[in-house]
Structure 1
């Protein structure tokens, strides 16, 4: 299957069996000849949780790979309950595709995984874009925020979960939901309790570990772009400042009137910022 330009909405599902024996589902699109950008997903998210507007824009200038990590979506295996094992699984997937040096885009939990992969040094990571994430020992309100979002009985739980209450933010949220619903073929199955329980445990453990003094961040030498929403209630923006201060080569951008899904609220601006960062 050739690496021709295609839209994320119609990009076919592909599969690869890695050295760990897990069959990983992925989609690959964009422009060949640049370091691939591998996208690491949020809590309970699948390939279909990505915003097509973001993925399509990023794929204009590079190869973009999205995938379901072990135990999630259309991939096999079991969902780990630790960030370290999720990083190991992601490394196995990248190794199976023989991608060479990669850039990483980690959203939320995916940002944890990107940090772990860069610090481990088992694969060649060139640059990192981390969005709505937190360092080890960071502040998290995962269960509280998720519970409150479901209690609102919104048309889509992502509206209160990823966007602020302002009309501007909610309008952007409705547009994001509509974009994501356009794909009808080969959609991933929704994540169930087994996945959410394991990933919640991993997130809580990561943020509860306050003994490291940001030692992991201090081991990351790769250029890193940190993007955060100004009013993120799940992982407050203070996490982004902590990461920025602890890392040796980080740039920080905070988007206004935005919550956990800042990249989905500002898809054009976010994609342009990531594109500029990766090309620099």
Structure 2
């Protein structure tokens, strides 16, 4: 059985796009499809998370349009990203999936679940927020500082994005970076220079102020698990509360001393919580 490290990259055509994806894990039950963060690829997932989830179910990783090894251009709207995700899942011949979305991927996951209620059974939203959420029309001041800083080692960027300044969190971050680079053969190429501007445009549209902005969440009827750290400076933690308060069937978990990458700081805890949620009757 393949793992995060050994799963080969496959390709499938849908909606004029050649999607790159990987499938691995326990083929029993409902597969879980993972949607990645801003400028991330399939290789930006933590192997402890993906392999942990794969013990109970099949895990499907993919790059959406224009990202890394997937063809096409990145859409400048979350709605188009979600439509592409639906085309990809249906092209695999899957009738029902669970969906996990992290950060930008969480916006895509929400939109996909509302647009395709028969396709999406359960939803996990990690480090993300609702339309017109608090400081979601642009990068937060903390995010600007992290993304524009200079680093001796490029991967050190993620220590500021995903982890708090505490000694314990930074130690967890350094451990994550080692896992993050374990796959060396068949690794996804980094995204090109067109990806970030298009994704930022989509984020700006999503975060733009609207009247009664959270009303759309009433249409999200799937059982939903919302997870975040208590000090997310990329998408402020309060936005996870907004999601839980306005999704009809949602529960919220907040991890201590954790930033945007709470699932990477507490991978075993995260896998346990998500697996319990996905196997509930």
TM-score by length of structure 1 reads: 0.95
Q: Which residue of 2 aligns with 1:243?
A: 243
CA deviations on 1:143-188 (whole Å, 9 max, x unpaired) are: 6334311415263100111110001001111111100101111111
Residues in 1 aligned to 2:232 and 2:140: alpha-carbon distance in whole angstroms: 14
Q: Which residue of 2 aligns with 1:184?
A: 184
Contact 2:7 2:23 in 1 (8 A): yes
Contact 1:106 1:130 in 2 (8 A): yes
- Where 1:214 maps in the other structure, the secondary structure is helix
Q: 1:123 to 1:21 in 2, by over 3 A?
A: farther
Residue 1 of structure 2 is aligned to residue 8 of structure 1: no
Residues in 1 aligned to 2:145 and 2:194: alpha-carbon distance in whole angstroms: 21
**Equivalent of residue 124 in structure 2, options 129, 136, 142:** 129
Moved more, 153-162 or 64-73: 153-162
Q: Which residue of 1 aligns with 2:92?
A: 97
Q: 1:190 to 1:146 in 2, by over 3 A?
A: farther
Shift of 1:136: 0.5
Contact 1:15 1:26 in 2 (8 A): yes
Residue 17 of structure 2 is aligned to residue 22 of structure 1: yes
Q: Which residue of 2 aligns with 1:277?
A: 277
Q: Which residue of 2 aligns with 1:257?
A: 257
Where in structure 2 are the equivalents of 1:128-277 lying within 5 Å?
128-139=123-134, 140=136, 142=139, 144-149=141-146, 150-151=148-149, 153=151, 155=153, 156-277=156-277
Contact 2:102 2:128 in 1 (8 A): yes
Residue 96 of structure 2 is aligned to residue 111 of structure 1: no
Q: Which residue of 2 aligns with 1:85?
A: 80
Shift of 1:21: 1.5
CA deviations on 1:210-236 (whole Å, 9 max, x unpaired) are: 234312211001000000110001111
Contact 1:230 1:258 in 2 (8 A): yes
Residues in 2 aligned to 1:17 and 1:36: alpha-carbon distance in whole angstroms: 20
Contact 1:37 1:104 in 2 (8 A): yes
Shift of 1:209: 4.0
CA deviations on 1:6-53 (whole Å, 9 max, x unpaired) are: 2101111011111x1211000000111211100000001000000011
| Structure 1 portions without partners, runs of 5+ | none
Count of paired positions: 275
- Where 1:222 maps in the other structure, the secondary structure is coil
- Where 2:235 maps in the other structure, the secondary structure is coil
Contact 1:227 1:253 in 2 (8 A): yes
TM-score by length of structure 2 reads: 0.95
Contact 2:117 2:222 in 1 (8 A): no
Contact 2:99 2:120 in 1 (8 A): yes
Contact 1:117 1:123 in 2 (8 A): no
Contact 1:132 1:227 in 2 (8 A): yes
Residues in 2 aligned to 1:94 and 1:27: alpha-carbon distance in whole angstroms: 12
Contact 2:140 2:235 in 1 (8 A): no
- Where 2:194 maps in the other structure, the secondary structure is helix
- Where 2:213 maps in the other structure, the secondary structure is coil
| Structure 2 portions without partners, runs of 5+ | none
